[in-house]
Amino acid sequence: MSPLRDSDPIAVAAEIARALPHRMRELAPAVQPPAAEVRAHLAAEWDLGVARPAQEVVRATAALLERWSTHVVHPRYYGFFNPSVTPESVAGDLLAAAFNPQLAAWTHAPAACEIERHLLRALGAAIGFGAPDDFLAHFTSGGAEANHSALLIALTHRFEGYDRDGLAACPRRPSFYVSAGAHDSFPKAAHAVGLGRSACRKVAVDSAFRLDLDALAAQIALDRAAGLEPCFLAATVGTTACGALDSLAGAAKLCARENLWLHVDGAWGSAWALVPEMRAHFAGIERADSLTLDAHKALQVPMGAGMLFCRHPESVRRAFRTATDYMPSGTAVTDDPYSSTMQWSRRAIGLKLFVALASLGLPGAIEMLREMARRGDALREKLAAAGWEIVAPTPLPLVCFTRASLGTDETAVRAAADGVIASGAAWIAPIRAPDGRWLLRACITSHLTSNADLDVLVTALA
């Protein structure tokens, strides 16, 4: 393979990518321009009827992204699970783009398919989901697709003929359950599979914003009495707003008693099950029927890289099976992804995670997660010392906080968050907790965040 020339657009992009982490602290974490300003610039400067040198276009495009972005890769972006990506993962993503393997069919991408299979088996076992031969796993565009897929597989598993006849195969209308703090992809999934959004029952949480299992049992009894068919529970480890961890052991016990499929939405939080001293918080994950995990959240790789793990391979195959005359013939040793996943044409999502984890090694990835958890603990200590009240404690590096002078109404909390963002010091969010209170939220999303970065945030809040 010939070496890249300095004028190659790929070389220019690589140069920018290498420099970006070192320059990021010079930039404000967020810039919020008027949409009209951005559109006017593009209309005036970018006539797509005129060709330009590719390297010039790459540099100018990078300048646009630098000028008008919320920089989620910034060490002081304390936002919504968007990480500072590692250089190794960027290189893996570049390989996926350059080789452009088509993962619809195994015969078109044997190396990429087998890399993903090898990686998923190792990662699922390391998290504690089960032995590699006990589950089937695949990459998805993200957690929403993984959650949607899990619901579809569960319905296929539960109701004979659902893959052929849909809801007509269900003797009673199915219902399923999530906590009041669960991700809002579940009502969308309910609509997509034909159940309707009202089939997604949101259950009350306890004082720590975890799923209230007694309230869940009561709701299941009410729904059965009303003629519904409870069939699926999504427990969350690491809710978006507050970082709460539902009791997986308790959820597994209830699902066994009530004959429900147990899905774990661990898109962000389940990565910390890799850390030995934190594993007790995830007790029961080994009893789940399916699990969502997003590598593009805690594992610090570019979007999107969701994963779905499932203990019922035949139900996965029945949920997505199809046959065509035009696709290449399959192989006896593995599934063709187009016939066993929701996507059809698909890029090699797993390469960026493979390169990153193979470079770091699992011990290196575990240490990175451990350090992020320590930063979360340090932020709690610094905020408490500065007079802030910590709300909704969690072992994960997500901190919700307020103070008496701020109150818990939306206007004041939003104003406080907006003030921090406008200062250029950091990006934080106002969130509404499941109990209705508005709180400030800061999450350690970057492996580059330092104690000095935490001090910048605490000072800005003052």
Cβ contacts of residue 77 below 8 Å, gap of 6+?
29, 30, 70, 71, 426, 427, 445, 446
pLDDT at residue number 375? 97
pLDDT at residue number 331? 56
pLDDT at residue number 2? 42
SS3 content of the chain, % helix, strand, coil (to 5): 50, 15, 35
Q: Cα torsion at 70, 75, 79, 80 (round to 10°)?
A: 90
Q: For residues 70 and 51, what is the distance between their CA atoms, to the nearest angstrom? A: 29
Single-letter code of the amino acid located at 209: F
Ramachandran angles phi, psi of 12, nearest 5°: -65, -45
Q: For residues 112 and 118, what is the distance between their CA atoms, to the nearest angstrom? A: 10
> Are 103 and 348 within 8 A, CB to CB?
yes
Question: Which of the residues in the chain have pLDDT under 50?
Answer: 1-4, 6
Domain 94-356 grouped into CATH 3.40.640.10? yes
Half-sphere exposure (Cβ direction) of 3: Cα atoms closer than 13 Å = 2
> Are 349 and 116 within 8 A, CB to CB?
yes
What is the pTM for the complete model shown? Answer: 0.93
Tokens standing for 206?
């306890």
> Are 376 and 396 within 8 A, CB to CB?
yes
DSSP code of 402? E
pLDDT at residue number 318? 92
pLDDT at residue number 80? 93
Which string of DSSP letters, residue by residue, matches 310-352? ES-HHHHHHHH----SSSPP-BTTB--GGGTSS-SS---THHH
pLDDT at residue number 23? 85
